Structure 1
Amino acid sequence: MPKITILIGFSFVELSTVDSTNNYAMALVHEGMASHGTAIFAHAQTAGKGQRGKQWNTEPGSNIILSVLVDASPVRHLPPFSLSAATALAAYDLFTRYAVHETSIKWPNDIYWRDRKAAGILIENAYHGKEWQWAVIGIGLNVNQVRFPELPRPPVSLKQVTGRDFDAAGLARELCVLLEERWQALLRDGADATLIRYQDHLLGMGRPVRLRHDGFVFETEVLGVLPDGRLRTSGPATASPDAAPGAGGEALFSIGDVEWMFDH
């Protein structure tokens, strides 16, 4: 397998507006024009994507709207979640470069400052048959936006944390450098080392949290994340023994199984 030598972000496409940077990147894949490391940054998008089919809305010109094309051939032997973990670490690296304290990764790959969301990640994959060919890494990170009128639980931005204005496109280029560093660490050190580093910054690790599963809210403790991305928790600390999966012992949850509950 030839070694990939193109740096992430070396090709940096800057758009004034687009429906979705992930759609733009995936179109390059389908047209046979994809190149590893190509980054697509938009100042505004009209149909942004979030996890599990949700729409992601962002104030034009205020935030990082970025998608990166990654040739999956060097990591197709690894658990796909390892790329998600490496990406979350890169976004964490960028936010903590300026916000410094009280930042964490909320499973599976959101960046939180205290109990408020600062960034989200959506990775979409392209296969040839059963072979993983490309990953489109979509990252949305709140930079200068200070009002989030449509959301019941407001997210948080770098400006709100630091009191500073930032150049969103410039930060997106910084993020590409950090993503390249985490990508190289994944190739060099493997999935297990990446997962350990990810868990070092995991929200709720080793302490009580409240989760909701199938309409039932329970308190539990985050024990870690498996290589396939499933969340490990202790059994519910309260309520009846049969109220939630794994009651009285370790419970495993797949992505999308549980919702985190925070005090307002």
Structure 2
Amino acid sequence: MVGHPFYILDEIDSTNNYAMERVNSGQVTSGTAWFTSNQTAGKGTRGKQWVARAGDIIALSIALQPAMLPLSRQFMLSMAVALGTHDFFSAYAGDETAIKWPNDIYWRDRKAGGILIENVLRGNMWHYAIIGIGLNLNQGKFPEHLPNAVSLKQITGKNWDAATLAQELCRCLDARIRTLQMSALDTLLAEYTAKLFRWQQPGLYRKDGVVFQGIIRNVLPDGHLCLEREGEVLRLGFGEVEFVLS
């Protein structure tokens, strides 16, 4: 089960780094989770850092042996994790919660958290997935260079216990990951796209330094985004396009 065992770390540079060290040393079982609310050098996508004050965040990493999927279907795991995180966050923040492709968590047009999955391979075999999730929890405000960030406290007006909610997040992830089957791809993809930020709606994007209006038309089973621009459908991989926010 995801979150069994569940370790609480008082302070750590990065829960994903810590999880990776445990996996590489062989000192881990599938489903083990490490949590902290005091992460000093967290990792985001494309090498970005994610740092917050102690108590303000959920920083959670899970070591999972994805025996239910071949490596060619790794985007299915990404979708399941995004949906599980959406299930958790929307239970508190409501129906305005969305998934920004590929796996950020948004509330309205503001970022509440993100997901980073790092793979450990043994030859051609998918040995482990290190699932890292960061969620903004108790921040009252954010620095000026993060104008589109939002926390659960800002949405609800309440302070939250990070460790308790992290364990609940593990239960939501476990429920989603248990449903992963090859035959469930179409159903999973349909539910994922239905919860996407800007799904089938016009919005601004940036590619190769050029800002344009586009509409998300599809997400392919391998994770590529199909974005319509002036009648042409672009097939885009991770990092090839940026959402432009107001």
TM bucket, shorter chain: over 0.9
Q: Where does residue 163 of structure 1 map in the other structure? A: 157
Residue in 2 that maps onto 1:242: none
Conserved 8 A contact 2:71-2:126: no
Aligned to 1:75: 69
TM-score by length of 1: 0.90
Q: Considering fraction of residues, name the structure with more strand.
A: 2
Comparing 190-199 with 134-143, which one deviates more in the overlay? 190-199
Contact 1:21-1:41 at 8 Å conserved across structures: yes
Corresponding residue number in structure 2 for 1:36:
30
Structure 1 equivalent of residue 244 of structure 2: 261
Partner of 2:10: 16
Q: What is the letter of the counterpart of residue 224 of structure 1?
A: N
The structure with the larger Rg is: 1
Alpha-carbon distance, 1:189 to partner: 5.1
Alignment of 1:1-264 (within 5 A): 7-76=1-70, 79-149=73-143, 151-187=145-181, 190-236=184-230, 248-263=231-246
The answer on whether the counterparts of 2:15 and 2:34 sit within 8 Å (CA) in structure 1 is yes
Distance in 2 (alpha carbons) for counterparts of 1:195 and 1:22: 26
**What is the alpha-carbon distance in structure 1 between the residues aligned to residue 171 and residue 72 of structure 2?**
22
List structure 1 segments (4+ residues) > 6 angstroms apart after TM superposition. Answer: none
Equivalent AA in structure 1 for residue 24 of structure 2: H
Relative contact order, higher structure (CA 8 A, sep 6+): 2
Q: 1:92–1:111: 8 Å Cα contact kept in structure 2?
A: yes
Displacement of 1:152 in angstroms is 3.6
Runs of 5+ unmatched residues, structure 2: none
Give, as a single letter, the amino acid of the residue that structure 1 aligns with 2:141. Answer: R
Residue range with higher mean Cα deviation, 141-150 or 34-43: 141-150
- 2-side partners of 1:257 and 1:75: how far apart? 26
Q: Provide the secondary structure at the position in 1 that maps to 2:126.
A: strand
Structure 1 residues 137-162: Cα deviation after superposition (integer angstroms, max 9, x where no partner): 00001111122216342410111001
Shift of 1:213: 0.1
**CA distance in structure 2 between the partners assigned to 1:233 and 1:62 by the alignment:** 35
Structure 1 window deviating more from structure 2 (171-180 vs 142-151): it is 142-151
TM-score in terms of structure 2 length = 0.96
Aligned alpha-carbon RMSD (Å): 1.4
How many residues align? The count is 246
Hey, what's the Cα distance between the residues in 2 that align with 1:58 and 1:29? 26
Give the Cα separation in 2 of the matches to 1:48 and 1:97: 25
Residues 104-137 of structure 1, C-alpha deviations (whole Å, 9 max, x = no match): 1000100100110001000000000121110000
